[in-house]
A and B are shown apart, each in its own frame.
Chain A
Amino acid sequence: MAIATRSKERARRSVPTSLIPGSSRNAFWLYLLPGLALLTLIIVVPLLWNVYLTFTSYRGIRPPEFIGLDNWVELFGDTTFWTSFRNSVAMIIAMVVVPTVVGLVLAAMLFDLIGRKFGGRMASFLRATYYLPQILPGVIAAIVIGWILRPENGALNQVLAAVGLGGLQGNWLGSPDTALPSIMVIMVWVQLGYPVVIFMAALQRVDPELYEAAELDGANWFQRFRAITVSIIRPEIFVVTLTRAIAALKVFGPVYALTGGGPGTSTIVPAYYAYSEFFQSQQVGYGATIATALTAVIAVVSIIFVLVQTRLERSEEAR
Chain B
Amino acid sequence: MAITDTPAGSTAREALKEPPRKRPRGGRARKTAGDWLILGIAVLIGLLIAVPFLLILANSFKSPTDYATGGPLSLPSSLYFDGITAFWERVDFPQKLWNSFFISSVVAVLAVGISMFNAFALGIGRVRGRTWLVLLILLANMLPQEVLLYPLYFMFRAVGLYDNVWAVIIIFTVIQSAFGTYLLASVYGTFPKELLEAASLDGANRWQILWRVVFPISRPTLSVLLIFFFIWTWNEFLIPLTFLVGNDNQTVPVAITVLQGDRLMDVTTTSASALLGLLPTLIFFLIFQRTLTRGITAGAVK
A287 proximity list for chain B (CB < 8 A): 146
Tell me, yes or no, whether B150 is within 8 Å of chain A by CB.
yes
Q: Are B237 and A204 in contact, CB atoms less than 8 angstroms apart?
A: no
Q: Are B121 and A129 in contact, CB atoms less than 8 angstroms apart?
A: no
Q: Are B179 and A307 in contact, CB atoms less than 8 angstroms apart?
A: no
How far is B2's CA from A232's CA once the two chains are assembled, in angstroms?
A: 11
How far is B151's CA from A287's CA once the two chains are assembled, in angstroms?
A: 13
How far is B140's CA from A313's CA once the two chains are assembled, in angstroms?
A: 24
Q: A39-B137, A139-B253 are in contact. Are A25 and B270 (CB under 8 A)?
A: no
B115 proximity list for chain A (CB < 8 A): 35
Q: Are A21 and B200 in contact, CB atoms less than 8 angstroms apart?
A: yes
Q: A113-B35, A158-B71 are in contact. Are A278 and B150 (CB under 8 A)?
A: yes
- B60-98: which have CB < 8 Å to A? 71-73
Contact residue among B43, B126, B142 (Cβ-Cβ distance under 8 Å from A126): B43
Q: Are A20 and B206 in contact, CB atoms less than 8 angstroms apart?
A: yes
Q: Are A29 and B53 in contact, CB atoms less than 8 angstroms apart?
A: no
How far is B140's CA from A45's CA once the two chains are assembled, in angstroms?
A: 11
Q: Are B278 and A137 in contact, CB atoms less than 8 angstroms apart?
A: yes
Contact residue among A139, A205, A291 (Cβ-Cβ distance under 8 Å from B297): A205
B140 proximity list for chain A (CB < 8 A): 39, 42-43
Q: Are B147 and A50 in contact, CB atoms less than 8 angstroms apart?
A: yes
Q: Which residue of A lies closest to B197 (CB)?
A: A21
Q: Are B52 and A143 in contact, CB atoms less than 8 angstroms apart?
A: no
Tell me, yes or no, whether A114 is within 8 Å of chain B by CB.
yes
Q: Which of A71-79, A146-154, A170-178, A259-267 contacts B (4 or more CB under 8 A)?
A: A146-154
A241 proximity list for chain B (CB < 8 A): none
Tell me, yes or no, whether A228 is within 8 Å of chain B by CB.
yes
Tell me, yes or no, whether B222 is within 8 Å of chain A by CB.
no
Tell me, yes or no, whether B245 is within 8 Å of chain A by CB.
no
- A10-67: which have CB < 8 Å to B? 16-23, 25-32, 34-36, 38-39, 41-47, 49-50, 60
Q: A35-B118, A35-B181 are in contact. Are A148 and B55 (CB under 8 A)?
A: yes
Q: Are A284 and B121 in contact, CB atoms less than 8 angstroms apart?
A: no
Q: Which residue of A lies closest to B193 (CB)?
A: A19
Q: A27-B206, A28-B127, A198-B296 are in contact. Are A19 and B121 (CB under 8 A)?
A: no
Q: Which residue of A lies closest to B259 (CB)?
A: A143
B side interface size, CB within 8 A: 116
Q: Are B174 and A50 in contact, CB atoms less than 8 angstroms apart?
A: no
Q: Are B114 and A34 in contact, CB atoms less than 8 angstroms apart?
A: yes
Q: A31-B117, A32-B118 are in contact. Are A135 and B231 (CB under 8 A)?
A: yes
Q: Are B148 and A46 in contact, CB atoms less than 8 angstroms apart?
A: yes
A303 proximity list for chain B (CB < 8 A): 135
Q: Mark A173-204, 1 if CB is under 8 A from B, else 0.
A: 00000000000000001001100011011101
How far is B196's CA from A164's CA once the two chains are assembled, in angstroms?
A: 67
Q: Which residue of A lies closest to B131 (CB)?
A: A310
Tell me, yes or no, whether A258 is within 8 Å of chain B by CB.
no
Q: Are A154 and B72 in contact, CB atoms less than 8 angstroms apart?
A: yes
- B133-153: which have CB < 8 Å to A? 133-152
B164 proximity list for chain A (CB < 8 A): none
A45 proximity list for chain B (CB < 8 A): 151, 155
Q: A27-B125, A137-B253, A137-B277 are in contact. Are A39 and B136 (CB under 8 A)?
A: yes
- B1-56: which have CB < 8 Å to A? 2-4, 6-7, 9-10, 28-31, 35, 38-39, 42-43, 45-46, 49-50, 52-53, 55-56
Q: Are B3 and A231 in contact, CB atoms less than 8 angstroms apart?
A: yes
Tell me, yes or no, whether B298 is within 8 Å of chain A by CB.
yes
- A240-293: which have CB < 8 Å to B? 243, 246, 250, 252-253, 256-257, 270-271, 274-275, 278, 284, 287-288, 291-292
Tell me, yes or no, whether A239 is within 8 Å of chain B by CB.
yes
A47 to chain B, nearest CB (A): 6
Q: Are B42 and A109 in contact, CB atoms less than 8 angstroms apart?
A: yes
How far is B124's CA from A31's CA once the two chains are assembled, in angstroms?
A: 11
Q: Are A38 and B170 in contact, CB atoms less than 8 angstroms apart?
A: yes
Tell me, yes or no, whether A132 is within 8 Å of chain B by CB.
yes
B295 proximity list for chain A (CB < 8 A): 201-202, 204-205
Enumerate chain B interface residues (CB-CB to A < 8 A): 2-4, 6-7, 9-10, 28-31, 35, 38-39, 42-43, 45-46, 49-50, 52-53, 55-56, 71-73, 114-115, 117-118, 120-128, 131, 133-152, 155, 170-171, 173-175, 177-179, 181-183, 186, 189, 191, 193, 196-197, 199-200, 206, 209-210, 224, 231, 234-235, 237-238, 252-253, 256-257, 260, 267, 270-271, 273-274, 277-278, 281-282, 284-286, 289, 292-298, 301
Name 15 interchain pairs, CB-CB below 8 A, sorted by A: A19-B124, A19-B193, A21-B196, A31-B120, A126-B46, A137-B281, A138-B235, A140-B253, A147-B270, A148-B55, A202-B295, A202-B297, A250-B142, A271-B146, A291-B144
Enumerate chain A interface residues (CB-CB to B < 8 A): 16-23, 25-32, 34-36, 38-39, 41-47, 49-50, 60, 106, 109-110, 113-114, 116-118, 122, 124, 126, 128-141, 143-145, 147-148, 153-155, 158-159, 162, 189, 192-193, 197-198, 200-202, 204-207, 210, 213, 228, 231-232, 235-236, 239, 243, 246, 250, 252-253, 256-257, 270-271, 274-275, 278, 284, 287-288, 291-292, 294-295, 298-299, 302-303, 306-307, 310, 313, 319
